[in-house]
A and B are shown apart, each in its own frame.
Chain A
Amino acid sequence: MSEAVLSAPVKGRSLWDDAGRRLMANKAATASMVLLAALVVLAVIGPYLVPFAYDQVDKDDVWLPPLQGGHLLGSDALGRDLLARLLTGLRVSLAIGLVATFVSLVIGVAWGAVAGYVGGKLDEAMMRIVDVLYSLPFIFFVILLMVTFGSNIVLIFVAIGAVEWLTMSRIVRGQTLTLKNKEFVEAARAAGLSRGAIIARHIVPNLLGPVVVYVTLTIPAVILAESFLSFLGLGVQPPMASLGTLIAGGASDMELAPWLLVFPSLLMVLTLMCFNFIGDGLRDAIDPKDR
């Protein structure tokens, strides 16, 4: 063996290297990642590539089936291009999914980390609140919120995000409990760091694994919740489109124009499936004990 090889530094395999390798070996997850990346690109630049605007009404081209009159996927009752609406809807749904998940992430991580780290009475009280909120028929409160304040997009973000943080806080608390007695936390405490600093700098970064997994599973749940609201007429308001409003519109015209139902449904299912496969793949990769 040559000198050079011997003296080369040994490259260790970190937890994340291992996880990355396992994730790449998961065919469903890799395929979903590629597909999802394509969907995101389409959602971002797609609307500029279609020669129609999502709200462009055309009285002469109503109810066109796919591939007619320059409308690749057909047009709706007002002659609006389905492809343009679909891409805009995908963009809106993805944006809602990301932003609302971020809201839930911030609340859930802060709540869970504080409860878990401080412990004692505070922990008990905070987790009791989560238990109580868990047992509420939440969809009713979201519906009430939408009715009360009118449906605007910001409110949809906040309402759904505020509902989805509960599980996140439970996961984070559990993880924090195991972390807080580790040596590096003890060292930080011995070094005189304040509680807030320990939580922010030592606990939260180490929560990354389970949090990442749960985030990928929350995004589809949020997209689903938004479409559900839109389906009931409480979410995104016309002429704006989301996958939910498109499916709702398609469902009411399905006898006349089945393509208006089929294409948005397919896109919705495809998007949700990608997220779920990636989430499952990540979970198996990061926490391989279930295999």
Chain B
Amino acid sequence: MLRYIGRRLLIAIPTLLLVITAAFFMMRAAPGSPFDSDRKLLPEIEANVLAKYGMNKPLGAQYVDYLAGVARGDLGPSLKYRDKTVLDILKENYEVSLKLGLSAIAIAAVVGVSLGVMAALRQNGTTDHAVMAVAILGVCIPTFVTAPLLVLGIASKLGWLPTAGWNDGALANMVLPVTVLALPQIAIISRLTRAGMIEVLRSNYIRTARAKGLPESLIVRKHALRAAILPLVSYLGPACAGLITGSLVVEKIFNLPGLGKFFVISALQRDYTVVMGMVIFYAALILLLNLVADLLYAVLDPRVRLA
């Protein structure tokens, strides 16, 4: 197990390197520079500014410098937000995104699995059809449609919840963004659970359990559920990617001080270091979650051997 984790972490290094390289050169290929502004800088001042950030060197040397910095855990200073390093920005803002993402995935897991199990137990019944209709809708209605519609209906017209803002993570402010983020995940998770559950309930060991005379609720909870949610574990990685994508929209619409909104703004402003920092952060997060998913899979399914 430990050796497996070690090897996976070793494989992650070239992957990260690839991400960093691609993002670095793409960002630099973009026209414009972080120091463009309406007022033209004097050539001497511009040269000074460039020298301060090491940007007067050839691109290759800057790339090597940047890699060396990353290896030391130094992501550099922001080029747009004065006196802030990229790490500062990450530290100050990751909490909001993390809180949103974790709440959304937790709610999605609980609601999605319950709906999926309910649907599977009454396959082709009314409940099943209702759940599947919700699942289809959840996949088809993108976050940038649900978010404004919910704000319009529940926040603006009815006035039940605040329309936007974070307010230090007050519950009322979190309800709408978390709901919007969780809905598509609920849809996918309930579909996966239903499919897994239907398959498992037909298997031989469930028949055996029934033949033994175990109560149905025990069979569902103890025997079937554990096998049925296995596909969910491998969905963890894509789910995380989906949440990140969703949070870009949700943080914009609800005007939340999270990481997501920095990315697009910084990319447009050519704040190279901040963009790179975000890319590295999210890539590392996804790689880590994929590893966790694989480990969990092995723990839950004794047939899987990690080598």
Using a Cβ–Cβ cut-off of 8 Å, how many residues does chain A contribute to the interface with B? 41
Given A132-B18, A147-B267, also A276-B136 (CB < 8 A): yes
| Contact across chains for A135 and B287 when beta carbons are under 8 A apart | yes
Which residue of B141, B253, B283 contacts A136 across the interface (Cβ within 8 Å)?
A: B283
Q: Which of B26, B147, B282 has the most chain A CB atoms closer than 10 A to its own CB?
A: B26
Given A145-B26, A251-B253, A261-B149, also A227-B241 (CB < 8 A): no
Of chain B, the residue at the smallest CB distance from A144 is: B26
Given A135-B15, A140-B278, A251-B253, also A265-B145 (CB < 8 A): yes
Q: Which stretch in A97-105, A110-118, A175-183, A228-236 binds the other chain?
A: A228-236
| Contact across chains for B140 and A276 when beta carbons are under 8 A apart | yes
Of chain A, the residue at the smallest CB distance from B147 is: A251
Q: Does A277 contact B (CB under 8 A)?
A: yes
Q: How far is the CA of A111 from the CA of B278 in the complex (A)?
A: 30
Q: How far is the CA of A254 from the CA of B144 in the complex (A)?
A: 13
| Contact across chains for B139 and A276 when beta carbons are under 8 A apart | yes
CB distance from A84 to the nearest CB of B (A): 21
Q: Does B264 contact A (CB under 8 A)?
A: yes
Which residue of B142, B151, B282, B287 contacts A227 across the interface (Cβ within 8 Å)?
A: B142
Q: How far is the CA of A139 from the CA of B23 in the complex (A)?
A: 12
| Contact across chains for B253 and A138 when beta carbons are under 8 A apart | no
Which residues of B (136-166) have their CB < 8 Å from a CB of A? 136-137, 139-142, 144-145, 147-149, 151-152, 156
Instruction: Compute the total of residue contacts between A and B using a CB distance below 8 Å.
Output: 110
Q: How far is the CA of A2 from the CA of B18 in the complex (A)?
A: 74
Q: Does B42 contact A (CB under 8 A)?
A: no
CB distance from A119 to the nearest CB of B (A): 21
CB distance from B91 to the nearest CB of A (A): 19
Which residues of A (213-245) have their CB < 8 Å from a CB of B? 220, 224, 227-228, 231-234, 244
CB distance from A168 to the nearest CB of B (A): 15
Q: Assign chain B's interface to a size class.
A: 35 or more
Which residue of A137, A144, A250 contacts B267 across the interface (Cβ within 8 Å)?
A: A144
Q: Which chain B positions have C-beta within 8 A of A254?
A: 148, 151-152, 156
| Contact across chains for A143 and B282 when beta carbons are under 8 A apart | no
Q: Does A60 contact B (CB under 8 A)?
A: no
| Contact across chains for A228 and B152 when beta carbons are under 8 A apart | no
Q: Does B229 contact A (CB under 8 A)?
A: no
CB distance from B37 to the nearest CB of A (A): 18
CB distance from A244 to the nearest CB of B (A): 8
Q: Does B237 contact A (CB under 8 A)?
A: yes
Q: How far is the CA of A224 from the CA of B148 in the complex (A)?
A: 16
Given A144-B26, A148-B29, A227-B142, also A232-B248 (CB < 8 A): yes
Given A141-B22, A148-B30, also A234-B264 (CB < 8 A): yes
| Contact across chains for A143 and B264 when beta carbons are under 8 A apart | yes
Q: Which chain A positions have C-beta within 8 A of B193?
A: none
Of chain B, the residue at the smallest CB distance from A261 is: B148
Q: Which chain B positions have C-beta within 8 A of A233?
A: 264
| Contact across chains for A269 and B26 when beta carbons are under 8 A apart | no
Of chain B, the residue at the smallest CB distance from A271 is: B140
Of chain B, the residue at the smallest CB distance from A139 is: B245
Q: How far is the CA of A233 from the CA of B144 in the complex (A)?
A: 13
Q: How far is the CA of A233 from the CA of B268 in the complex (A)?
A: 10
| Contact across chains for B142 and A228 when beta carbons are under 8 A apart | yes
CB distance from B120 to the nearest CB of A (A): 13
Q: Which chain A positions have C-beta within 8 A of B244?
A: 137, 139
Q: Does B27 contact A (CB under 8 A)?
A: yes
Which residue of A140, A149, A231 contacts B144 across the interface (Cβ within 8 Å)?
A: A231
Q: Which chain B positions have C-beta within 8 A of A143?
A: 263-264, 267
Q: Which chain B positions have C-beta within 8 A of A141?
A: 22-23, 26
Of chain B, the residue at the smallest CB distance from A290 is: B195
| Contact across chains for A232 and B249 when beta carbons are under 8 A apart | yes
Q: Which chain A positions have C-beta within 8 A of B136?
A: 273, 276-277
Q: Which chain A positions have C-beta within 8 A of B118?
A: none
Closest 6 CB pairs of A and B: A251-B148, A148-B30, A272-B140, A137-B282, A265-B145, A231-B144
Known: A140-B23, A254-B152. 16 other contacts (CB 8 A): A136-B15, A137-B241, A137-B279, A141-B26, A144-B27, A144-B279, A150-B31, A227-B144, A228-B142, A232-B252, A247-B144, A247-B145, A268-B145, A269-B140, A273-B140, A276-B140
